A and B are shown apart, each in its own frame.
Chain A
Amino acid sequence: MSDAPLVQIRNLSFSRGDRVIFDGVDIDIRRGSVTAIMGPSGTGKTTLLRLIGGQLKPDNGSVLVDGEEVQHLRRGALYRLRKRMGVLFQNGALLTDINVFDNIAFPLREHTSLPETLIRTLVLMKLEAVGLRGARDLMPSELSGGMARRVALARAIAMDPMMMMYDEPFTGQDPISMGVLVRLIRTLNDALGLTSIIVSHDIAETCAIADDVYLLSGGKVVAHGTAEALGKSDSAWAQQFLNGEADGPVAFHYPAADYAEDLMQRENNH
């Protein structure tokens, strides 16, 4: 295994219509680490995961995953690369017409010709890792949000990927499921020798397990470092974001005309 970062993002630019989402972003994801990508909603954190997974193509710059430039890969090579990536989607994205067991067996049955007994063993091992071996016969609709996310996590690691990407794993979780997930992400990373990328805006939980943190805003990397280093950073923006202050470089008010003038206006009925 080389020392080069597993994911290297260089000068990445991407826009949707007129809206610029990324404007010259550089990110390195070290092998074996847990890297957090944080930023306010709408900064394109999920888009970043889609760019790494090759579902979107950048306008400019490059995304290298394990030495392969994702946007120039042909379909076959891209699919081979994706088999080595696991993604945990925001709502789990479990297939709703099959039960928990079959959901986790799905990638194994699609990509391997393993005998059914071996698939059963593998599925039960993955379920045991997320603590849901007893829930194998439930349908996705019968799971709570936290359980669904853990099942989706088991499915994502079913093919023993080299890296995991988590899209807002903590959103909408009660404190207990949140704690379980936080611990799971770190333990799985270390036990399975993964490289993990967490996209999130839950600061405390994410900082607790991240080795590296990138703060994104306005299409650029605003700050980068370990969680402690960022806490001491003198960037006003980073301080506002990490401490959750209502006003600062990111203004509380949406841009508008002068308040007094707006109130005095009578002709307009808005």
Chain B
Amino acid sequence: MLDSLQLLGQKGLDFFQRLGRGHMLLLQVLTGLPSLLPRFGLVIKQTYSVGVLSLVIIVVSGLFVGMVLGLQGYNTLVDFGAEESLGVVVALSLVRELGPVVTALLFAGRAGSALTAEIGLMKATEQLSAMEMMAVDPVRRVLAPRFLAGFISMPFLAAIFSAVGVLGGYFVGVGLLGVDDGAYWSQMQDKVDMYDDINNGIIKSLVFGVVVSWIAIFEGNDAIPTSEGVSRATTRTVVHSALAVLGLDFILTALMFGE
């Protein structure tokens, strides 16, 4: 009994220590961001590897999600004779929710895990230590550019996801199921609001960008420098990112659309 209580206490302490280390790291990364300005090439290189290389999975997933939305939306709407509104259903679902959320989940799996593994292995092979001894701060040289790249990439990827999804919905709804072409676009144009829908979607994806990139670089930097440690850290990145994204999505949605 006492033992399990002690174990619980130990776990709690570990949790808060990790939380503390995570926030310290975020602070260091944020204060290191200005030093990236004169050497923006580092950020561009990372944006390529976390952002551009994630495009394929984002485009393909966006297309299929949009097609499913078109199909499901049509089946529901047609009962009420409202299939003309399919464009609105597809666009709002994507822009408000699925775009930012699914992009963040895919990003955590595709780019977040890769960042954690890369940084963890650099730690395990003493590359980070060697940088420190060469008087190069690994937080500024390695972590900050990756963090910024993730933050920049996320809203673009979410926007691309939503745009491709709208096309997927169009393909199924208009192309296969015979919804009126003009109605699909004009209803969408009419009902999707720049402020309420698009901006809120962008804000969500910016928040997710910070959180997923932060978790990924922290887990890498905090990994136990062995192969097992790196593999655990990679798993944690994906799991924690997914939980954080879904939890934050609820909070953000409540704040934005909760009247």
Contacts and interface: CB of A to CB of B under 8 A. Distances in A.
B134 interface: yes
B130 interface: yes
Contacts, number: 47
B126 A91 contact: yes
Contact of A107 (B122, B132, B134, B137): B134
B127 A95 contact: yes
Given A90-B126, A93-B127, A95-B127, A106 B132 contact: no
A199 interface: no
A51 to B, nearest CB: 12
Contacts of A87: 130, 133
Contact of B133 (A82, A96, A110): A82
A83 B135 contact: yes
A257 to B, nearest CB: 26
B130 A93 contact: yes
B206 to A, nearest CB: 28
Interface residues of A, number: 22
Nearest to B142: A95
Contacts of A79: 135, 137
A90 B125 CA distance: 10
Contacts of B136: 106-107, 110-111
Interface in B114-168: 122, 125-127, 129-130, 132-137, 141
Interface residues of B, number: 13
A150 to B, nearest CB: 15
A53 B135 contact: no
Interface string A106-120: 110011000000000
A83 B125 CA distance: 21
A159 B136 CA distance: 13
Contacts of B125: 91, 93, 96
A114 to B, nearest CB: 16
Interface of A: 53, 55, 79-80, 82-83, 85, 87, 89-91, 93-96, 106-107, 110-111, 152, 155, 159
Q: Which 7 A-B pairs have the closest CB atoms?
A: A93-B130, A93-B126, A82-B135, A79-B135, A87-B133, A83-B135, A107-B134
Given A107-B135, A110-B141, 9 more contacts: A79-B137, A80-B135, A82-B133, A82-B134, A87-B133, A89-B130, A90-B126, A93-B125, A96-B127
23 contacts: A55-B132, A55-B133, A80-B135, A82-B132, A82-B135, A83-B135, A87-B130, A89-B130, A91-B125, A91-B126, A93-B125, A93-B127, A93-B129, A93-B130, A94-B127, A95-B127, A95-B130, A96-B122, A106-B134, A107-B136, A110-B141, A152-B130, A159-B134
